[in-house]
Amino acid sequence: MSATSDPLTPSRSFPETQTVWIADRLSEGEAGLMLANGYVMESYVRPLSIYCSKIGLARMVRIDADDLVHGFFANRLSNSEYLKSWLTSGLRLRQWLRNGLHFYVHELRRQNATQLGLHIGGQALSEEVLSEGAAHDHEFERAWALAALDLAMKETKEELETRNRRDEWEMFWSHHVEGVPHAKIGERFQLSAAQVAQRAFAVGAQLRDALCGILRKDGALGSEIDVEVRSMMEVLNELRS
Phi, psi of 40, deg, nearest 5? -60, -45
**CA atoms of 107 and 165, how far apart (whole Å):** 49
- Quote the pLDDT of residue 131: 62
| Residue 135 near residue 56 (C-beta atoms within 8 A) | no
Do 72 and 61 form a contact (C-beta atoms < 8 A)? no
Render pLDDT for 78-106 as a digit per residue (tens, 0 to 9).
Answer: 999 999 999 988 888 999 999 999 999 88
Query: Is this prediction's pTM over 0.85?
Result: no
Q: What is the pLDDT of residues 137-170, one digit of tens each?
A: 777 888 888 888 899 999 999 999 999 999 999 9
Least confident of 45-54, 85-94, 126-135, 174-183: 126-135
Residue ranges per structural domain of the chain: 20-135, 145-238
Residues in the chain: 241
Specify the higher pLDDT residue, 153 or 19: 153
User: Does pLDDT of 125 surpass 80?
Assistant: no
* CA dihedral for 214, 219, 221, 224, sign (positive or negative): negative
Higher pLDDT, 4 or 168: 168
**Amino acid 48: pLDDT:** 94
> How many Cβ atoms are within 10 Å of 56's Cβ, its own excluded?
10
Number of H helices, E strands in the chain: 11, 0
